[in-house]
């Protein structure tokens, strides 16, 4: 069986730890709109979160970056008053970005580079960037000195998502092509799952790459989303700040409605929500169960339930 998962970073990585336990060929289509260039290095936070987590090299407590990390280079850069001291880069992590940047500079696509990095990490899941083209989420927000657009990471990491966001812009998305293998993976999948990722800045950019949304809507595979909301709140982090910008209620019903029914203008056939939540979306099969990703076994059971809604057995 073939399963495709639309994936952001940390939430998706945890979800994939469960999906990977199924007897299936799993392809993750990963958001790249969080990517940024600092100190001349191309950094892909969501791809790296998934790669390190599935490869057993992630720092579980911090939630991002490498385990047993050191920070010598970052301290030296700070002493030079280098750009973006708010974005922490560990020494081991920097090695990944050096490898990636060198390959990109040599003319390889991000998907080739990702495959090369995965030869070391062996994530057990095929990782496909949503696009090899540059797409970046920018946030138009109200800062103390007025309204301006900044890179998503600057709003999220530097400003902790505090300045009121007015809009999210996925620069480059309109001209981006789906990454190599992305449309083929969707077209030959038995089921597509949307990971419990941030709907606004992790999943929406993937759907904004022309062709991907259409492939999901027109493809043969059922599409089932897993809610990132539990008990009417985002589990960790600040994703609620993104939903309020779009005037979407922070609830399983709100996020499900944002994705929408495939029979209408949306993408969902099924929507898996937490047992304490409720949602009614015409045209979408909604089912509930505990959605805490406490460990890979519990998460595997969640993924099985999502496949059950899709009416495919794993
Ligand atoms: P990021 O790109 O690193 O921010 O990660 P994602 O976009 O993939 O996922 C972040 C989202 O994962 C958070 O906003 C949470 O709503 C969701 N999340 C984290 N842990 C859990 C969990 O245990 N269960 C569920 N259902 N959602 C979770
Ligand atoms: Ca992310």
* pLDDT, tens digit, 9 for 90 and up, residues 155-187: 999 999 999 999 999 999 999 999 999 999 999
CA atoms 190, 191, 192, 196: torsion sign: negative
Closest ligand 1 atom to residue 294 Cα is 23
For the chain, percent of residues with pLDDT exceeding 70: 99
> With 90 as the cut, is the pLDDT of residue 61 above it?
no
Residue 236 confidence (pLDDT): 82
- Ligand 1 geometric centre to CA of 197 (Å): 5
Residue 312 confidence (pLDDT): 82
Q: Which domains are seen in the chain, by residue range?
A: 2-132+174-313 (3.40.50.10680)
Which residues approach ligand 1 with their CB closer than 6 A? 8-12, 14, 46, 49, 195-198, 202, 227-228, 230, 234-237, 239, 291-293
pLDDT digits (tens, 9 = 90+) for 198-233: 999 999 999 999 999 999 999 999 999 999 999 999
> With 70 as the cut, is the pLDDT of residue 43 above it?
yes
Judging by beta carbons within 10 Å of its beta carbon (0-12, 13-18, 19+), is residue 1 exposed, middle or buried?
A: middle
CA distance 6 to 194: 5
- 75-79: long-range contacts at Cβ-Cβ below 8 A with a sequence spacing of 24 or more? 77/39
Mean pLDDT, residues 295-303 taken together:
98
> With 90 as the cut, is the pLDDT of residue 50 above it?
yes
Mean pLDDT, residues 132-150 taken together:
97
Overall pTM surpassing 0.85 (yes/no): yes
Q: Whose CA is nearest to atom 25 of ligand 1?
A: 228
Buried b (16+ CB within 10 A) or exposed e, 137-154: bbbbbeeeeeeeebbbbb
Judging by beta carbons within 10 Å of its beta carbon (0-12, 13-18, 19+), is residue 265 exposed, middle or buried?
A: exposed
Which of 237, 254, 277, 295 gets mutated to test ligand 1 (max ligand atoms within 8 A of its CB)?
A: 237
């Amino acid at each position: 069986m073939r399963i495709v998962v639309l994936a952001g970073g940390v939430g998706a990585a945890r979800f994939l730890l469960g999906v990977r336990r199924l007897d299936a060929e799993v392809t993750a289509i990963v958001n790249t709109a969080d990517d940024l260039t600092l100190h001349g290095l191309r950094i892909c936070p969501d791809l790296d979160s998934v790669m390190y987590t599935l490869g057993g090299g992630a720092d579980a407590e911090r939630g991002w970056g490498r385990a047993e990390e050191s920070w010598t280079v970052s301290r030296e850069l700070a002493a030079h008053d280098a750009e973006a001291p708010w974005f922490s880069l560990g020494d081991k992590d920097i090695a990944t970005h050096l490898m990636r940047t060198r390959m990109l500079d040599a003319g390889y696509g991000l998907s080739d580079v990702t495959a090369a990095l995965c030869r070391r990490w062996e994530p057990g899941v095929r990782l496909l960037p949503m696009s090899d083209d540059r797409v970046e989420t920018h946030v138009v927000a109200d800062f103390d000195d007025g309204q301006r657009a900044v890179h998503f990471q600057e709003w999220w990491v530097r400003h902790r998502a505090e300045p009121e966001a007015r809009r999210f812009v996925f620069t480059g998305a309109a001209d981006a092509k789906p990454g190599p293998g992305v449309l083929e993976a969707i077209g030959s999948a038995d089921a597509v799952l949307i990971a419990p990722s941030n709907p606004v800045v992790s999943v929406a950019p993937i759907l904004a790459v022309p062709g991907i949304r259409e492939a999901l809507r027109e493809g043969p595979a059922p599409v089932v989303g897993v809610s990132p909301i539990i008990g009417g709140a985002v589990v960790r982090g600040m994703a609620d700040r993104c939903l309020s910008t779009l005037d979407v209620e922070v609830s399983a019903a709100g996020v499900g409605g944002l994705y929408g029914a495939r029979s209408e203008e949306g993408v969902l056939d099924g929507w898996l929500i937490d047992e304490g939540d409720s949602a009614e979306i015409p045209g979408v099969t909604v089912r509930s169960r505990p959605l805490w990703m406490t460990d890979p076994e519990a998460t595997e059971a969640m993924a099985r339930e999502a496949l059950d809604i899709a009416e495919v057995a794993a």
